[in-house]
């Protein structure tokens, strides 16, 4: 299941069942952080932090860090995410649904509504951008406008130049004059 489909289905159930909260299990390696088998991962996937900040801004969602990392590494990743403005509700547990409840036994299974984990098919190289577009359809338009306005300011200050060019990702020249 794609992450977008998981978000849509979870939100449909939330409305139909009048839930206040949706729980997201969030893996770290190959989902949030680019794996580094020589130690602690240091690099986030593109759009990951922006998407997580957007998720975090909606109090409907509670993010549960879901990782097999060693205890000291779990603490490091939790602090790293919190430093980036992402609240982690819990680590490897859901304190709201522990033990035997009216609707099920969660003593050996973690309750969640959305699973973001490379082991479940999540593709961090593409799906963070899709999540960001789903949660905030104007995000990339705002970024593009900020970039264009920045270049216009640069042009204004470099007005002695007849034309200003930038290069795109394909190394093609773009006239921004």
Which conformational region is residue 151 in: left (phi greater than 0), alpha (psi within -120 to 50 degrees), or beta?
alpha
The pLDDT assigned to 104 comes to: 76
**Coil, strand or helix at 137:** coil
Res. 79: pLDDT tops 90: yes
At residue 90, φ and ψ (nearest 5 deg) are -160, 170
When pLDDT is cut at 50, 70 and 90, the band that residue 167 belongs to is: confident
Pairwise CA distance, residues 117 & 66, whole Å: 8
Query: pTM for the whole thing?
Result: 0.77
User: Which domains does the chain possess?
Assistant: 3-137 (3.40.50.1000), 141-175 (no CATH)
Q: What is the pLDDT of residues 88-132, one digit of tens each?
A: 999 999 998 877 667 777 777 888 999 999 999 999 999 999 999
Q: How many CA atoms within 13 Å lie on the side-chain side of 103?
A: 2
Q: Please give the average per-residue pLDDT across 140-160, as a whole number.
A: 69
Q: What is the pLDDT of residues 9-63, one digit of tens each?
A: 999 999 999 999 999 999 999 999 999 878 788 899 999 999 999 999 999 999 9
**In degrees to the nearest 10, what's the CA dihedral of 133, 110, 39, 129?**
-10
């Amino acid at each position: 299941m794609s992450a977008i489909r998981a978000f849509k289905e979870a939100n449909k159930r939330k409305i139909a069942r009048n839930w206040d909260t949706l729980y997201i299990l969030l893996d770290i390696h190959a989902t949030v952080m680019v794996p580094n088998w020589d130690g602690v991962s240091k690099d986030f996937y593109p759009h990951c932090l922006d998407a997580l900040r957007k998720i975090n801004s909606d109090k409907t969602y509670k993010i549960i860090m879901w990782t097999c990392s060693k205890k000291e590494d779990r603490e490091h990743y939790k602090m790293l995410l919190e430093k980036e403005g992402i609240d982690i509700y819990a680590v490897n547990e859901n304190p709201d649904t522990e033990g035997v409840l009216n609707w099920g036994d969660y003593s050996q299974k973690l309750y969640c509504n959305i699973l973001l984990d490379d082991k479940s098919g999540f593709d961090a190289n593409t799906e963070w951008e899709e999540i960001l577009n789903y949660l905030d359809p104007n995000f990339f338009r705002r970024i593009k406008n900020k970039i264009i306005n920045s270049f216009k300011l640069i042009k204004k200050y470099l007005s002695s130049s007849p034309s200003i060019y930038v290069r795109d990702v394909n190394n093609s020249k773009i006239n921004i004059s």
